[in-house]
Structure 1
Amino acid sequence: MPNTANRRTAKRPAQAAPVSPVAVPEEREPRGARRKRETRARLLDAALKLMAEKGMEGVAINEITEAADVGFGSFYNHFDSKEAIYATLVDSVFEEFANMLDRLGSGLSDPAEVIAVAVRHTVLRARHDPVWGRFLIREGFSARATSRGLGQRLLRDIGNGIAAKRFVVADPFIGFLAVGGTVLSVIAAELNYVAPGAPAAGVLEELGFSGEHLPERTAATLLQTLGLKRAEAEKIAVRPLPVVEETVEAN
């Protein structure tokens, strides 16, 4: 019989114990950097509210720092001048929104729908953020806002519609002024007459007008201004709005 005592038993290699992932501590923002960022954000927020009400020329730096609860000297740690914080506001407030409109329109092939979506979203944004809306009314045709951000996009979109023979506009610049000026006027009407708590809420009713569906009505009328037939303009103006997530960026 075979000698079982000398038989070797094959051993399976021992399995290594599962290694727990090493927790990597999140890098915490240094306290000084966080305070600096928060201070800058407070200054921008205060400047936006004040300049929306009184314009850049009507606001002093000490008003901004007082409203932001920041020391006067701290202002110059972030901005060289009142003009510098104004330029930052125009770029951040309008450029960020214009970028969002570009994302909304990226999937649209019809220049008319691109304009309708931009108009409706602009009026809706002002409805939900009245300070933003008032700042847009005041600065919408300023040199800086017209040459970049929303103004630049509007000129481009009208030009695209003309090139595609979708719009019939004899004078593109006047078309730009007509669209931009109408949107600003509608936002003013929204904030003064239509929005909850508006200072002159009863005026439209007294005049026999309705404030309902202003974004859609504005888009339809402006598409007719650009050359579309009324029935088609009204149909485009009530299509479901495309939605994209807005990216939140630190100031």
Structure 2
Amino acid sequence: MPDTPNSCATRQHTQKLPAPAEATEGRQPRGVRRKRGTRTRLLDAALRLMAEKGMVSVAINDITEAADVGFGSFYNHFASKEGIFAAAVEWVFEEFAGTLDRLASGLSDPAEVVAVCVRHTLMRARREPVWGQLLIREGFSVHALNWGLGQRLLRDSQSGISARRFVVSDHFLCLISVTGIIFAAIAAEMHFSASVTPAVQGQKPSGLGEQHFAERAAAVVLQALGLKRVEAERVARLPLPG
């Protein structure tokens, strides 16, 4: 799972987010492929700029320049800046939420489902820093719980409460706390994996950025949901589904 600090820091500027599924379909007429290629470049640029600056600070011409697309062409694909960001965020997080559902489809223990989802989220953020930045920046927005990841966390935590696997006094506040733990862990993992200075590296004996960080974060999340420490750590270390 871990990347070397140098390679991770370098990829943060060169990494490409995966293209939407519609852009990877079988060979089609040149005009259709060109239009979809333009849309993909616009989405990719919007995602990167939003991850770096947030939606409010990005203008449409920033997106078209980053995508190397004519300003007028933008409106052939999206009605507004809000429209492209909504499409980009929905695709990114729905796609990943679907991936988590597939990974956890064979699991019956709600605690293991949550642990697997937390671990894969941290692992992906480490591999794909732009994606991780986007998740942190947009994850606390007012509509975050309506996205695929938020809805699945709500569903999985409620499933554990119903099964009496999780014990929480206030489900909504617990959900906010768990979300905060996950985002803080993502930020810490990305920061320490990208840091190469001796001063920062010297802090690693404290446990930050070391191997098994994803498992340790998952264990803390499970404890927030009411599991005892020993049981939370056991579940968090179970082999990941293939």
Q: Which residue of structure 2 aligns with residue 33 of structure 1?
A: 32
Q: Which residue of structure 2 aligns with residue 114 of structure 1?
A: 113
| Structure 1 contact 183–218 (Cα < 8 Å) conserved | yes
Question: Structure 1 stretches of 5 or more lacking a match?
Answer: 1-26, 244-251
- The 5 Å alignment of 1:43-192 reads 43-192=42-191
Matched to 1:46, the amino acid is A
Change (3 A) 1:200 1:59: farther
TM-score (norm 1): 0.82
Mapped partners of 1:61, 1:119: distance in 2: 34
| Aligned residue-pair number | 215
Mapped partners of 1:97, 1:202: distance in 2: 35
Mapped partners of 1:217, 1:201: distance in 2: 24
Displacement after TM superposition at 1:148 (Å): 2.4
Matched to 2:241, the amino acid is P
Name which one, 1 or 2, has greater alpha-carbon Rg: 1
> Percent identity, aligned pairs only?
63
SS in 2 for 1:29: coil
SS in 1 for 2:57: coil
Displacement after TM superposition at 1:201 (Å): 7.3
Displacement after TM superposition at 1:204 (Å): 6.5
Mapped partners of 1:28, 1:114: distance in 2: 37
Structure with higher helix content: 2
Higher relative contact order by CA 8 Å / sep ≥ 6: 1 or 2? Answer: 2
SS in 2 for 1:239: coil
| Structure 2 contact 47–89 (Cα < 8 Å) conserved | no
SS in 2 for 1:80: coil
Mapped partners of 2:132, 2:107: distance in 1: 26
| Structure 1 contact 130–191 (Cα < 8 Å) conserved | yes
| Structure 1 contact 90–145 (Cα < 8 Å) conserved | no
TM-score (norm 2): 0.85
SS in 2 for 1:143: coil
More displaced, 112-121 or 146-155? 146-155
Mapped partners of 1:74, 1:201: distance in 2: 47
Displacement after TM superposition at 1:140 (Å): 0.7
- The 5 Å alignment of 1:223-234 reads 223-234=222-233
Mapped partners of 2:238, 2:77: distance in 1: 44
Q: Which residue of structure 2 aligns with residue 238 of structure 1?
A: 237
Mapped partners of 2:69, 2:117: distance in 1: 37
**RMSD over equivalenced CA pairs, Å:** 1.6
Question: Structure 2 stretches of 5 or more lacking a match?
Answer: 1-25
Displacement after TM superposition at 1:164 (Å): 0.3
Q: Which runs of 4+ in 1 moved over 6 A?
A: none
Candidates 203, 206, 224, aligned match of 1:206 = 203
